[in-house]
Amino acid sequence: MDLSELTLVELGEQNLDIEFFDCGRDDINDFFRNDAKNYQDELFGKTYFFCLSNKPKRIVAAFTVANASIFTKHLPNSRRRKIGYEVHHEKGLVNYPAVLLGRLGVDKEFRGNHIGAQILEFVAGWFSSDENFSGCRHLIVDAYNEKELIEFYQKSGLELFFSTEDQELTYRNWDIEKDGPLQTRLMFRDLILLKRPSIR
Ligand SMILES: CC(C)(COP(=O)(O)OP(=O)(O)OC[C@H]1O[C@@H](n2cnc3c(N)ncnc32)[C@H](O)[C@@H]1OP(=O)(O)O)[C@@H](O)C(=O)NCCC(=O)NCCS
């Protein structure tokens, strides 16, 4: 199934069968059903749906995007270089503009069609295009800390910020005793590679 066969709908644009949407993860279903509208009203993130063109209320996939930034000041040097690879600005930036893919879900019925991967590509293209109103160097996700999910994002060109959980615990000031195991892992994709693929 190709994304171009589906219709992109912005939250609030038309009535959709949100109650039938099931990506298999309750918290994400719950977000799209109950929280996305308020979230959008508060300007925290915008939600979009890909729907079947012949059944326009049927949601195939949903995602939420928000402006974000990568603050590099407290990153180890090696990590800072990785984020600012081939940056022409003399010393790199302290803050790199980014887009955060805050939520992503593909309905269980449509799994295995590369819809999720195509959405990652779509968002990357969207935010790095000349039509984007602001600068956006990276696509970032805060992925559930599950091996398969991390592999899913890696297949789409996202990399872990930190190669080990220990490094990430330190950077995020995460106290395992108090906060429990690290639940998510930060990942990024440098969108400059879409414009200048030859640099790597
Ligand atoms: C994760 C999710 C968005 C993936 O969407 P999808 O459309 O099913 O995935 P795709 O078909 O695009 O998968 C692309 C590749 O990743 C692999 N992949 C996808 N999900 C995977 C998983 N959970 N485990 C292992 N591999 C996975 C696919 O096999 C495919 O590999 P291939 O290119 O070698 O064929 C979807 O499974 C989902 O909605 N999950 C529940 C919600 C969720 O966890 N969201 C992410 C929160 S961080």
Supply the mean pLDDT for the chain.
92
Give me 159's structure tokens: 């990399």
Contacts of 5 (CB under 8 A, 6+ apart): 53
Give me 46's structure tokens: 């915008």
Q: Which amino acid is at 24?
A: G
Number of domains the chain contains: 1
Measured between alpha carbons, how far is 100 from 114 in angstroms, rounded to an integer? 20
Q: Please compute the mean of the pLDDT values over residues 138-151 and round it to a whole number.
A: 97
Measured between alpha carbons, how far is 161 from 189 in angstroms, rounded to an integer? 10
What percentage of the chain reaches a pLDDT higher than 70?
96
Backbone angles phi, psi at 137, to 5 degrees: -90, -35
Residue 163: pLDDT band (50, 70, 90) is confident
Residue 89: pLDDT band (50, 70, 90) is low
pLDDT for residue 90 is more than 80 = no
Q: Please compute the mean of the pLDDT values over residues 58-65 and round it to a whole number.
A: 98
| Residue 91 or 138, more confident | 138
**117 ligand 1 Cβ < 6 A:** yes
- Maximum average pLDDT range among 83-87, 90-94, 127-131: 127-131
Give me 85's structure tokens: 């690879």
At 85 the pLDDT is 67
What percentage of the chain reaches a pLDDT higher than 90?
76
Which residue range forms the structural domain that includes residue 173?
3-199
Which residue from 6, 22, 103, 106 has its CB within 8 A of the most atoms of ligand 1, so it is best to mutate? Answer: 106
CA dihedral for 46, 47, 50, 55, sign (positive or negative): negative
Q: Please compute the mean of the pLDDT values over residues 105-132 and round it to a whole number.
A: 97
CATH number reported for the structural domain that contains residue 104 in this entry = 3.40.630.30
Nearest CA to ligand 1 atom 4: 116
Number of neighbours of residue 190 by Cβ within 10 angstroms:
24
Nearest to 103 by CA among 137, 139, 69, 65: 65
Residues recorded for the chain:
200
